[in-house]
Amino acid sequence: MTDTYSWLFSRCRHAQLHYNTEFRTCMMIYLFLGLLVHIFTPCSSLENGMFLTPPMGWMSWERYRCNINCEVDPDNCISEKLLKDMADRLATDGWKTLGYEYVNLDDCWSSKKRDAQGRLQPDPKRFPSGIKALADYVHSKGLKFGIYGDLGNYTCAGYPGTTLDTIDLDAQTFAEWGVDMLKLDACYSNASMMAEGFPKMSLALNRTGRPIAFCCSWPAYQGGLPPKVNYTLLAQICNSWRNYYDIQDSWESVMSVIQWYGKNQDVLQPAAGPGHWNDPAVLIVGDFGLSYEQSKTQMAIWAMLAAPLFMSNDLRSISGKFKEILQNQLAISINQDPLGAPGIRVYKDKNFEVWRRVLSKGSFAVAVVRTSYDGTPKPAILNLAQLRIVDCLLGYQVIDVLESKLMGFYNLLDIIYFQVNPSGVMLLYISPVCT
Amino acid sequence: MTDTYSWLFSRCRHAQLHYNTEFRTCMMIYLFLGLLVHIFTPCSSLENGMFLTPPMGWMSWERYRCNINCEVDPDNCISEKLLKDMADRLATDGWKTLGYEYVNLDDCWSSKKRDAQGRLQPDPKRFPSGIKALADYVHSKGLKFGIYGDLGNYTCAGYPGTTLDTIDLDAQTFAEWGVDMLKLDACYSNASMMAEGFPKMSLALNRTGRPIAFCCSWPAYQGGLPPKVNYTLLAQICNSWRNYYDIQDSWESVMSVIQWYGKNQDVLQPAAGPGHWNDPAVLIVGDFGLSYEQSKTQMAIWAMLAAPLFMSNDLRSISGKFKEILQNQLAISINQDPLGAPGIRVYKDKNFEVWRRVLSKGSFAVAVVRTSYDGTPKPAILNLAQLRIVDCLLGYQVIDVLESKLMGFYNLLDIIYFQVNPSGVMLLYISPVCT
């Protein structure tokens, strides 16, 4: 249909040279067909040029929550100091050059009241320099600044929400402050308010003229699945969306996210792509609840899912081993693959699940997750043919991503043998020998 | 009653000097009363002099399971090499001097068949030197050697079990090998076989003349609780007992153990004491499934429970941070307190639970466990009076055990303030200023 449409357009252009009835008829048909194309195009994405690969950076919520007690806990309360600290670390400790560029302030940044003009304003004690100055600081480090809002009467933590009548004003305020990304939550909202408000905010952000990526929590409040959630529409208005519960600082929580994505992959996998991503919530690597093995597993599966890599941790004190996981270049390049096609789970038994992701240039990523907890490493035996990695008959190079180690070159039926630790993962980068 | 009994015995001894009717009557009364004393003594423990404090050491099962594949995995299969490696590490890396003295071989050590004389025998390939030589090696390091049996037709992994008719022979075999501790499991058994077999093995071990500590899995196969489980009887025949499921390599598993012990503490706490301990299963600190915080929590609660400190991990590769937890001297001394009274949970809400243990010399241990997973440290506020630590009106010295740090001296109503990380713990050692 799109081809017909293009042909028709060139015909009309031709007719235009002789502006006449033929041209007007032509254009009417053209516009009518345009409407049809618009209606029937299966997934047209928000075309603000943002998030062409999954965004990366840092986000305050999971690790710092609504800690506003700056008197007792000045280093860890939600304040401009905390955000500047994290911007400093991102810029200095090798994060920025790897792509971790967003510094995202979550809930609890604002004053409990809007200002005299009805505008959102930051808490004056914790953000004495104001949000614009903070965004400027972040920009001065070569980073981007994200903020949090809530389409509802209040934010989840009880701060002023963005109601339907303040959408335009709030979008304008964010743009004036130099915000680069808005996470819009939906506590104290309802289905019709969300259905009207999220598209409206998308439009309002576009109208500001400032490129502001739009991260929508809408589907998470609607169960994350059709028919209540329309992923085609979401792709048109949001650059990413949260569709499942908030992650908590535990392996159980990470696993529940992974299981939900696996179970619903037929819906979720096709929904995502360049400019519009599923967001399974933040990385908790470097926090309190995950072991080293479990941390590698989260990183691997977030890479497979083409998930936003927003860390919620303390970059000032993260230990070397956990930093290495988050800074693994090949894992990041899998996550950022320009094809933008998320992986799916292709196998599951009581000990293992296997995820497979198609990458650009004929490459693949495969993650083998150990889902049983009997304490000894278990052997896994695979071959490429089994994994339907068969396009290059000459074979593939296989890299153990998390150990940054070449495992070797494999023909399609060669046995690939390795062991996987309890709650651990083997992440493989598989690239064709064929050129 | 015991005093009357002693007085009577001296009277009879006196009568014996004039061997007559008085002596015979005296002895009949004496023996009858002896029977009554035996019946009515509420909790008389197995008096083999073993486990006067909870045993400490290493055990193969959780970490190494039934890995018998020595050809592919020679360093990690159940073999004399593995046990010798661990004995070397216990002796060399500071473990032994802290009290970690048992090297315990679990299931899968034996041949699939008994020998021609009907005796258990080790797998000849994996234990070519025999068990006696292995026990000798362990003893030469100043350590003790433990072995595994199963009262049933087969062990859990399908090796020869100890049936009622082989109890005496197997006890004799273990004694001849120089075994210092027997863990007797109960797969492929039944209630009546266990009821007869566990007391019989206890007697058989005593009869060998070798002190062999007896660890019984019996209650774990009977739900761990009265009326099916008789803890008074267990204390008379076993030095420790497993009463809940095998631990797995996950925080979820550790928490389920802790919750079960908390829930059933009215039964479990009084059951344990010097020479007879509840065994909530092995320490998995240093394995794959626990974060650093969670590892500290397991160590703290195992100290509070007066639990055997059997580690099931790889002492050859354990990292420094996890080793420090297991080698924390004050945590160990809480575990080993000579009073031998396990702690109990005295408080529980949605974020915290507080455990309290009475120690010797008027001291106490208190553990505050964070049971919620929202990612930020949470403040806890306590005082000694609240904790019913009030005997010394002058106040107490409080030490943060896991940080090995003096927190200060506190009067009974002084606020003790600290923060607890998600799935983490604060373990306090509280000793009176009064002498």
User: What is the ipTM for the molecules in this complex?
Assistant: 0.89
Closest CA in chain B for residue A423: B289
Please state, as a whole number, how many other Cβ atoms lie within 10 Å of the Cβ of residue B66. Answer: 20
Q: Is B246 a catalytic residue?
A: yes
Closest CA in chain B for residue A66: B376
Task: Give A250→chain B minimum CA distance, Å.
Answer: 6
More confident residue, B35 or B195: B195
Per-residue confidence (pLDDT) for residue A201, from 0 to 100: 98
For residue A236, pLDDT over 60 is answered with yes
**B123 touches A at CB < 8 Å:** no
Per-residue confidence (pLDDT) for residue A12, from 0 to 100: 40
Catalytic residue among A106, A180, A185, A337: A185
Output the 3-class SS for chain B.
CHHHHHHHHHHHHHHHCCCCHHHHHHHHHHHHHHHHHHHHCCCCCCCCCCCCCCCEEEECHHHHCCCCCCCCCCCCCCCHHHHHHHHHHHHHCCHHHHCCCEEECCCCCECCCCCCCCCCCECCCCCCCHHHHHHHHHHHCCCEEEEEEEECCECCCCCECECHHHHHHHHHHHHHHCCCEEEEECCCCCHHHHHHHHHHHHHHHHHCCCCCEEEECHHHHHCCCCCCCCHHHHHHHCCEEECCCCCCCCHHHHHHHHHHHHHCHHHHHHHCECCEEEECCCECCCCCCCCHHHHHHHHHHHHHCCCCEEECCCCCCCCHHHHHHHCCHHHHHHHCCCCCCCCEEEEECCCEEEEEEECHHHCEEEEEEECCCCCCCEEEEECCCCCCCCCCCCCEEEEECCCCEEEEEECCCCCEEEEECCCCEEEEEEEECCC
| Contact status, residue B162 vs residue B151, Cβ threshold 8 Å | yes
Tell me if B253 and A373 make a contact (CB, 8 A cut-off). Answer: yes
pLDDT in tens, B104-125: 999 999 999 999 999 999 999 9
CA distance A431 to B420: 46
For residue A20, pLDDT over 70 is answered with no
**B19 touches A at CB < 8 Å:** no
**A371 touches B at CB < 8 Å:** no
Per-residue confidence (pLDDT) for residue A106, from 0 to 100: 98
A282 to chain B: which residues are within 8 Å by CB? none
Which amino acid is present at B1? M
**B284 touches A at CB < 8 Å:** yes
For residue B333, pLDDT over 80 is answered with yes
A361 DSSP assignment: G
CA distance B319 to B314: 10
A181 DSSP assignment: E
For residue A1, pLDDT over 90 is answered with no
| Contact status, residue A238 vs residue A197, Cβ threshold 8 Å | no
Nearest to A62 among B72, B294, B375 (CB): B375
For residue A303, pLDDT over 50 is answered with yes
Per-residue confidence (pLDDT) for residue A22, from 0 to 100: 54
B374 to chain A: which residues are within 8 Å by CB? 65, 248-249
For residue B418, pLDDT over 60 is answered with yes
Catalytic residue among B107, B185, B287, B337: B185
Nearest to A424 among B63, B65, B288 (CB): B288
Task: Give B63→chain A minimum CA distance, Å.
Answer: 5
**Would you call the peptide bond into A227 cis, given omega within 30 degrees of 0 as the criterion?**
yes
pLDDT in tens, B82-96: 999 999 999 999 999
For residue A161, pLDDT over 60 is answered with yes
B62 to chain A: which residues are within 8 Å by CB? 375
Task: Give A135→chain B minimum CA distance, Å.
Answer: 25
Instruction: List CB contacts of A118: < 8 A, sequence separation 6 or more.
Output: A166, A169
Interface A-B, measured as beta-carbon pairs within 8 A, has a size of 102
Catalytic residue among A85, A88, A93, A246: A246
pLDDT in tens, A394-434: 999 999 999 999 999 999 999 999 999 999 999 999 999 99
CA distance A234 to B388: 58
Between the CA of residue A344 and those of A77, A251, A282, A358, what are the distances in Å?
38, 20, 19, 9
Per-residue confidence (pLDDT) for residue B422, from 0 to 100: 98
pLDDT in tens, B211-238: 999 999 999 999 999 999 999 999 999 9
A350 to chain B: which residues are within 8 Å by CB? none
Instruction: List CB contacts of B266: < 8 A, sequence separation 6 or more.
Output: none
A291 to chain B: which residues are within 8 Å by CB? 288-291, 294
Per-residue pLDDT band for A435 (boundaries 50, 70, 90) equals confident
Per-residue confidence (pLDDT) for residue A159, from 0 to 100: 98
CA distance B422 to A287: 9
For residue B390, pLDDT over 70 is answered with yes
Per-residue confidence (pLDDT) for residue B13, from 0 to 100: 40
Q: Give the SS3 label for residue A342.
A: coil
B65 to chain A: which residues are within 8 Å by CB? 374-376
% of residues, chain A, pLDDT over 90: 89
Per-residue pLDDT band for B394 (boundaries 50, 70, 90) equals very high
Average pLDDT of chain A, as a whole number: 92
**A374 touches B at CB < 8 Å:** yes
For residue A52, pLDDT over 50 is answered with yes
| Contact status, residue A62 vs residue A249, Cβ threshold 8 Å | yes
Mutate to test the interface with A, among B291, B295, B415 (most CBs of A within 10 A): B291
CA distance B100 to B89: 11
Catalytic residue among B246, B249, B400, B414: B246
Per-residue confidence (pLDDT) for residue B228, from 0 to 100: 98
**B421 touches A at CB < 8 Å:** yes
Q: Is A246 a catalytic residue?
A: yes
For residue A25, pLDDT over 90 is answered with no
Scanning B195-254 for CB atoms below 8 A from A yields: 248-253
pLDDT in tens, A53-89: 999 999 999 999 999 999 999 999 999 999 999 999 9
B376 to chain A: which residues are within 8 Å by CB? 63-65, 67, 76
A62 to chain B: which residues are within 8 Å by CB? 375
For residue B11, pLDDT over 50 is answered with no
**A317 touches B at CB < 8 Å:** no
Take residue A330 and report the two structure tokens written for it: 């090949």
Task: Give A308→chain B minimum CA distance, Å.
Answer: 19
B292 to chain A: which residues are within 8 Å by CB? 288
Per-residue pLDDT band for B22 (boundaries 50, 70, 90) equals low
Task: Give B415→chain A minimum CA distance, Å.
Answer: 15
pLDDT in tens, B294-311: 999 999 999 999 999 999
Closest CA in chain B for residue A419: B73
pLDDT in tens, A361-401: 999 999 999 999 999 999 999 999 999 999 999 999 999 99
Task: Give A183→chain B minimum CA distance, Å.
Answer: 19
Q: Give the SS3 label for residue A163.
A: coil
Per-residue confidence (pLDDT) for residue A34, from 0 to 100: 42
Nearest to B288 among A252, A379, A421 (CB): A421
For residue B324, pLDDT over 80 is answered with yes
Tell me if A373 and B294 make a contact (CB, 8 A cut-off). Answer: no
Nearest to A288 among B65, B287, B293 (CB): B293
Task: Give B163→chain A minimum CA distance, Å.
Answer: 28
